[in-house]
């Protein structure tokens, strides 16, 4: 009898445990809610547009960071990133804060912090929580910073991984993602009303109004947005912002070139990029990155070499190596010794390895002789010196897009047409059009010398319905965004059939200048002019 009672109690206990587990009560009590571990990565291209509210009659405003070309993600110890902010000038800031929001994920045993430096002064260190977490930091801006006009905010992920156990050299201990709602909260002496102040609040990312009804025929908005793209401004099409004549007026009042895409002059200093300046102390690996667009280079002249100057040490009793890559193409590998504590070398930068958007990466690795480290670490100090520069003298490039733009300029006016477009499709169309020098082209539907038709949706079906007429090309973005736009001769079987949006360019008169080669891309590797 007692045995039966014990079995019955055991069954009841097991059933109770199952019910509690299924109800989720145990997870809530133990803090193991699975939803917490699902990371959410925001739309970095939107920037902080959805957070640009203003209160107190327009005097309390939010300032977004200067529109980034990539999300800010810091991976491993140490890692570096930077943000730039433009302050309103006509409406003067009286007080303000830098509001940093980030998502972190640190392994158990990692000890790290996110460091904030503003205009060269360390302002905050925030200890990372273990596991996935969303954290916020608020830094009061000083009177000197409020009067600076621009703020250079540098972020550094510093610390080390678990030390209690043996870990492989390549172990990654923490990752931090800067969230789009990061920015400045300012109190102004009067509401921001000028174009310059609005652009500062937007971080040079201009909101373009394009309703969700997929409207067609708003060529004025598309052309104006494209002209802003050509000048280096970011655009974001959505359900609020400027359109039509309002956008035209804003484009006329905007400065010639925004902060985020300055015109470069040789020699180009890599240490001038905020995250590359100053000394670093690292445990296993660190990377200096420099990004540049061909459109920023003087007269389209590619850099011929990287003059690399670095100071480092101590590197004795370690396996220290240097790697240099351009757009993931390996240019240099070198094992370093004690005599390399001051590094002075030149690295050739082949024209064939360049793209429209380029990233140069210099990586140092310093590992212990043993593959595993147990309870100790060895810090290496390194600094990229200010005389690390890109040297000019490379090939000048004439891209197929430049050739096509010259054809359009010789066959004006240009008629622009499109069917219904969603906001993302319209934004892609404006970005493509912005690659074709739209500021020098006159647009009109009356007796056009050439036409540009926006194709979207099922491009395979759209291309099959195109009636060949005159000379025709297709312009579209490939899968690799670094390559820029592709230009190819029209064909129903063209590669544009795999794209979501393409421009069909038709010349109604014979070409009077050189036409783009068939199948050419916008990357300099396909169009470098060696003869110069």
Give the residue, 125 or 159, on which the prediction is more confident: 125
- 406 and 391 in one domain? no
Q: Answer whether residue 201 shows pLDDT above 90.
A: no
Interval 290-349: pLDDT, tens? 988 887 888 889 999 999 999 987 776 677 889 999 999 999 999 887 767 888 999 999
Residue 528 confidence (pLDDT): 36
DSSP state letters, 390-421: EE----EE--HHHHHHHHHHHT-SEEEEE---
Determine the average pLDDT of the residues in 480-495.
80
- 333 and 293 in one domain? yes
Residues 475/436, Cβ–Cβ less than 8 Å: yes
- 442 and 490 in one domain? yes
Looking at 361, 396, 431, the residue that finishes a domain is: 396
- 293 and 168 in one domain? no
- 191 and 48 in one domain? yes
- Please check whether residue 422 lies inside any domain of the structure: yes
- 454 and 359 in one domain? no
Residue 55 confidence (pLDDT): 61
- 91 and 50 in one domain? yes
- Closest by CA position to 509, among listed 408, 371, 363, 370: 408
Domain total in the chain? 3
- The chain-wide mean pLDDT, for the chain, equals 81
- Please check whether residue 111 lies inside any domain of the structure: yes
Give the residue, 255 or 325, on which the prediction is more confident: 325
- 156 and 176 in one domain? yes
- 388 and 439 in one domain? no
- 383 and 409 in one domain? no
- Please check whether residue 407 lies inside any domain of the structure: yes
Q: Answer whether residue 31 shows pLDDT above 50.
A: no
- 334 and 273 in one domain? yes
Given pLDDT bands bounded at 50, 70 and 90, which one contains residue 28? very low
Give the domain extent around 161.
39-200
527 burial (CB, 10 Å; 0-12 / 13-18 / 19+) is buried
Looking at 140, 165, 200, the residue that finishes a domain is: 200
Strands (DSSP E) contained in 369-514 are: 372-373, 380-384, 389-391, 396-397, 414-418, 450-456, 471-476, 486-489, 501-507
- Please check whether residue 296 lies inside any domain of the structure: yes
62 vs 378: CA distance, rounded Å: 42
- 447 and 323 in one domain? no
| Residues 6 or more apart whose Cβ sits within 8 Å of residue 174 | 76, 77, 104, 105, 106, 107, 110, 112, 128, 157, 159, 161
Task: Give the Cβ contact number of residue 236 at 10 Å.
Answer: 22
| Residues 6 or more apart whose Cβ sits within 8 Å of residue 359 | 289, 290, 291, 326, 327, 482
Residue 526 confidence (pLDDT): 37
Phi-psi region of 418 (alpha: psi -120 to 50; beta: other; left: phi over 0): beta
């Amino acid at each position: 009898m007692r045995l039966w009672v014990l079995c019955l109690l055991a069954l009841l206990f097991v059933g109770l445990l199952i019910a509690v587990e299924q109800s989720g009560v145990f997870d809530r009590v133990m803090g193991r809610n699975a939803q917490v571990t699902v990371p959410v990565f925001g739309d970095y291209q939107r920037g902080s547009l959805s957070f640009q509210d203003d209160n107190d009659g327009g005097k309390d405003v939010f300032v977004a960071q200067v529109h980034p070309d990539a999300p800010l993600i810091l991976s491993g110890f140490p890692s570096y990133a930077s943000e730039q902010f433009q302050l309103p000038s006509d409406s003067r800031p009286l007080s303000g804060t830098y509001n940093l929001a980030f998502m972190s994920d640190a392994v158990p045993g990692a000890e790290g912090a996110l460091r904030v430096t503003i205009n060269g002064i360390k302002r905050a260190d925030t200890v990372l929580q273990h596991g996935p977490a969303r954290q916020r930091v608020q830094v009061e801006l000083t009177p000197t910073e409020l009067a600076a006009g621009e703020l250079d905010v540098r972020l550094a992920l510093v610390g080390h991984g678990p030390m209690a156990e043996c870990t492989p050299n390549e172990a990654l201990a923490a990752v931090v993602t800067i969230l789009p709602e990061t920015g400045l909260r300012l109190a102004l002496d009067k509401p921001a009303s000028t174009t310059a102040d609005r652009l500062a609040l937007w971080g040079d990312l201009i909101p373009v109004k394009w309703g969700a009804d997929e409207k067609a025929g708003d060529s004025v908005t598309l052309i104006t947005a494209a002209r802003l793209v050509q000048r280096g401004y970011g655009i974001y099409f959505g359900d609020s912002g400027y359109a039509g004549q309002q956008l035209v007026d804003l484009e006329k009042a905007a400065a010639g070139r925004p902060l985020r895409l300055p015109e470069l002059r040789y020699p180009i200093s890599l240490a001038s990029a905020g995250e590359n300046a100053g000394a670093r102390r690292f445990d296993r690996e660190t990377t200096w990155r420099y990004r540049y667009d061909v459109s920023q280079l003087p007269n389209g002249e590619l850099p011929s070499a990287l003059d690399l100057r670095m100071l480092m040490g101590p590197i004795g009793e370690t396996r220290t190596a240097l790697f240099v890559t351009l757009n993931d193409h390996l240019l240099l590998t070198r094992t370093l010794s004690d005599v390399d504590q001051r590094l002075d070398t030149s690295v050739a930068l082949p024209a064939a390895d360049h793209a429209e958007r380029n990233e140069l990466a210099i990586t140092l690795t310093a590992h212990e002789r043993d593959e595993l480290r147990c309870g100790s670490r060895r810090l290496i100090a390194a600094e990229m010196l200010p005389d690390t520069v890109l040297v000019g003298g490379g090939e000048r490039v004439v891209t197929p897009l430049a050739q096509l733009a010259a054809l359009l300029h010789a066959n004006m006016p240009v008629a622009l047409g499109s069917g219904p477009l969603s906001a993302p499709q319209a934004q892609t169309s404006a970005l493509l059009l912005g690659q074709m020098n739209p500021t020098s082209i006159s647009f009109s539907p009356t007796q056009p010398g050439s036409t540009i038709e926006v194709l979207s949706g099922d491009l395979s079906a759209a291309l099959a319905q195109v009636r060949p007429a005159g000379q025709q090309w297709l312009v579209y973005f490939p899968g690799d965004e670094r390559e820029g736009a592709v230009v190819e001769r029209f064909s129903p079987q063209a590669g544009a059939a795999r794209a979501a949006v393409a421009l069909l360019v038709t010349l109604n008169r014979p070409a009077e200048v050189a036409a783009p080669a068939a199948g050419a891309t916008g990357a300099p590797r396909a169009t470098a002019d060696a003869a110069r």
